[in-house]
């Protein structure tokens, strides 16, 4: 990002603020994407999770969003992003407040390395929940990370069946566009709404309305 006066990106903010704004923008992006197939849903931010999609008053998908300014961020087996997410979901499951059948999604700009737990939780032919559990259990038992300790504890408290249920419902969506790159993705979803010459101003107004709602 340039530091020249007048050219600095509007998203050149500190990481926490950028992460929250990314959460809001991704909620809009995902809402617009879902509208193509199903207009009957409700979306909330910072309710049951970072982003929650509901239908008929019941949660259908809970999203945790993780944004990194670095394009080389990696979702390793001891990644704080991964374990913070697991802690949120595990503790919710332990309290009995996680409805069965609810989808759990970790949306991140980081990349899940091949062979990692996060890699095995991606959708597609490489998905292997049993292998992901094995790697996560090994990490929880051997890692010395103090920051991850509460998450390790919550994960170990789950029964074998609960771990399988939790991670079977979990999907890692990695290598997602960063906060600035979401512009392109958002425009691709609303390009049909207005003439091309009005696209930028339309998106600005749409996001202005959305952020006020959030």
Higher pLDDT, 14 or 70: 70
pTM: 0.87
Residues above pLDDT 70, as percent of the chain: 92
Q: Does 8 score more than 80 pLDDT? A: no
Identify whether the C-beta of residue 29 lies closer than 8 Å to the C-beta of residue 185.
yes
Mean pLDDT across 86-107: 94
Give tens-digit pLDDT for 9-38: 443 445 678 889 999 999 999 999 999 999
Give the CA count within 13 Å in the CB-facing half-sphere of 37.
3
């Amino acid at each position: 990002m340039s530091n020249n006066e007048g050219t600095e990106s509007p998203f050149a903010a500190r990481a926490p603020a950028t992460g929250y704004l990314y959460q809001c923008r991704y909620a809009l992006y995902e809402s617009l994407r879902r509208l193509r197939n199903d207009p009957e849903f409700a979306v909330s931010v910072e309710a049951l999770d970072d982003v929650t999609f509901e239908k008929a008053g019941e949660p259908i998908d809970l999203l945790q969003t993780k944004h990194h300014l670095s394009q080389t961020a990696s979702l390793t087996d001891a990644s704080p992003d991964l374990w913070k997410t697991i802690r949120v979901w595990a503790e919710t499951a332990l309290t009995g407040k996680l409805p069965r059948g609810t989808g759990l999604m970790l949306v991140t700009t980081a990349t899940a390395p091949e062979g990692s737990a996060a890699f095995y939780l991606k959708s597609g032919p490489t998905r292997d929940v049993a292998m992901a559990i094995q790697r996560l259990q090994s990490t929880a038992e051997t890692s010395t990370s103090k920051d991850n300790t509460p998450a390790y504890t919550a994960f170990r408290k789950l029964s074998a069946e609960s771990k399988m249920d939790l991670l079977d419902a979990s999907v890692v969506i990695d290598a997602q566009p960063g906060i600035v790159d979401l512009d392109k993705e958002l425009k691709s979803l609303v390009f049909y709404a207005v003439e091309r010459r009005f696209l930028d101003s339309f998106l600005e107004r749409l996001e202005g309305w959305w952020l006020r709602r959030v």
